[in-house]
């Protein structure tokens, strides 16, 4: 479990640890969902900034933000499936933001967060490398890979 889903197993272990302190398990789940709710807000903010950078149109950025918040799939994943899975779209959005800002630390952090949540995010690595090579971002690619190597 810890090898395949490290974030989820960390969540379960922390609930086991704190369940002795709190009588109400639903209240405990609520407090553990608060950081993920904050990440959900950050996703909307990053979508807004990404669309604003790409189109320079504030109305389109607002519509993108509203599409994130009014999407029923987000509520389904958050409420029914498991809120920790919101780390995957957050890492993808963070990865796109890092690519647009040419920030190697943000790119590395996004890949680490996404890869430790679900392994299918490794599919994006060749596309990120191709994008960075086509835009002559060799230094950023080298720095991002140097940040990723010690983690894995």
Residue 91 domain-assigned?
yes
Residues spanned by the domain of 41: 33-151
Q: How many domains does the chain have?
A: 1
Residue 10 domain-assigned?
no
Q: In whole angstroms, what is the distance from residue 111 CA to residue 124 CA?
A: 9
Q: Are 144 and 104 in contact (CB under 8 A)?
A: yes
pLDDT of the chain, 152 residues: tens digit per residue: 555 566 667 777 776 776 666 566 666 666 667 777 788 888 889 999 999 999 999 999 999 998 888 887 776 766 665 667 788 888 889 988 988 888 878 888 888 888 777 777 778 777 777 777 777 777 776 766 666 665 55
Residue 131 domain-assigned?
yes
Residue 25 domain-assigned?
no
Question: pTM higher than 0.75, yes or no?
Answer: no
Residue 60 domain-assigned?
yes
Q: In whole angstroms, what is the distance from residue 142 CA to residue 152 CA?
A: 16
């Amino acid at each position: 479990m810890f090898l395949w889903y490290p974030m989820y197993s960390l969540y379960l272990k922390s609930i086991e640890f704190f369940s002795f302190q709190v009588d109400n398990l639903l209240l405990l789940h609520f407090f553990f969902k608060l950081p993920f709710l904050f990440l959900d807000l950050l996703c909307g903010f990053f979508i807004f900034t990404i669309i604003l950078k790409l189109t320079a149109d504030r109305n389109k950025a607002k519509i993108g933000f509203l599409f994130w918040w009014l999407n029923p799939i987000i509520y389904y994943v958050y409420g029914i499936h498991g809120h920790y899975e919101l780390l995957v779209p957050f890492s993808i959005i963070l990865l796109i933001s890092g690519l647009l800002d040419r920030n190697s630390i943000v790119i590395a952090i996004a890949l680490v967060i996404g890869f430790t949540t679900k392994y299918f995010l490794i599919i994006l690595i060749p596309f990120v490398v191709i994008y960075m090579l086509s835009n002559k971002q060799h230094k950023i690619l080298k720095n991002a890979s140097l940040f990723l190597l010690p983690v894995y």
